[in-house]
Structure 1
Amino acid sequence: MLTLTDDAVTAVQDIATKADLPEGGGLRIARSPEDANGIVLSLAPEPVDGDQVVDSGPARVFVSPDTAPALDALTLDADLSAQAPAFSLHPTQA
């Protein structure tokens, strides 16, 4: 299952709060409709049926069923040094 760093948790929480998402809303990761190898990040008020839900404290990330296997051994990180966070995926450290 996808894991989140502390910075990613902070970024997801901040973005969800600024977007005024309802409680339980979060960041959704899904395959890009234009690029079969790409992914798209979007804000969602709730998971879509079949989404894998990653609850990490106050942050929630929803991973589409067709994307979840590819992200299984990865960690979502965020660079908080810029005005807007930059997300990246890295292999999960054992």
Structure 2
Amino acid sequence: MLIVSDAAAETVKALTAAEEADDAGGLRISVESLDEQGASLGVALVAAPDTGDEVIVSTSGALVFLQPEAALYLADKVLDVRDGRDGGLEFAVHGKTEEPRRFDEPRSS
């Protein structure tokens, strides 16, 4: 199961609050495309999970929804945040013992 770091949970909560989402709103992660290197994932703030989504509730109550296909790729990962290229924060995923990696960064060999 995907683990949501405390920093990612706080970011999700701040984003949903800024969007004035109700208590059912959260961050949805989905597969945008597949190729020989793996899946390209996308994120969006949504009002509620889609039917079939895996719902993850962080220890602080942030909601993350995983499209079923995305859940397969993220089962042993951590959702985190890090400093973005443009000065803001961006979501990143990593293995439980790895450094965070952007959704659009290729894996190192």
TM category (shorter chain) comes to 0.7 to 0.9
Alignment partners' CA distance in 1, 2:27 and 2:74: 14
Q: Which structure 1 segments of 5+ residues have no match?
A: none
RMSD: 1.6
1:61-87 deviations in Å (ceiling 9; x for gaps): 000011101100000001268763211
Alignment partners' CA distance in 2, 1:75 and 1:16: 20
Give the alignment of 1:73-84 within 5 angstroms: 73-79=76-82, 84=88
Q: How many residues align?
A: 91
1:42-70 deviations in Å (ceiling 9; x for gaps): 01111101000010122000000111011
Q: Which structure 2 segments of 5+ residues have no match?
A: 98-109
Alignment partners' CA distance in 1, 2:83 and 2:19: 17
Give the alignment of 1:1-94 within 5 angstroms: 1-32=1-32, 35-36=33-34, 37-56=39-58, 57-79=60-82, 84-93=88-97
Q: Which amino acid aligns with 1:78?
A: V
CA contact 1:7–1:80 (8 Å) conserved in 2: no
Alignment partners' CA distance in 2, 1:44 and 1:80: 23
Cα distance change on mapping 1:59 and 1:45 into 2, 3 Å: same
What is the identity percentage for the equivalent residue pairs of Structure 1 and Structure 2? 29
Rg larger in 1 or in 2? 2
Work out which structure has the larger RCO, using CA pairs closer than 8 Å and 6 or more positions apart in sequence: 1
Q: TM-score, normalised by structure 1?
A: 0.88
Alignment partners' CA distance in 2, 1:87 and 1:73: 16
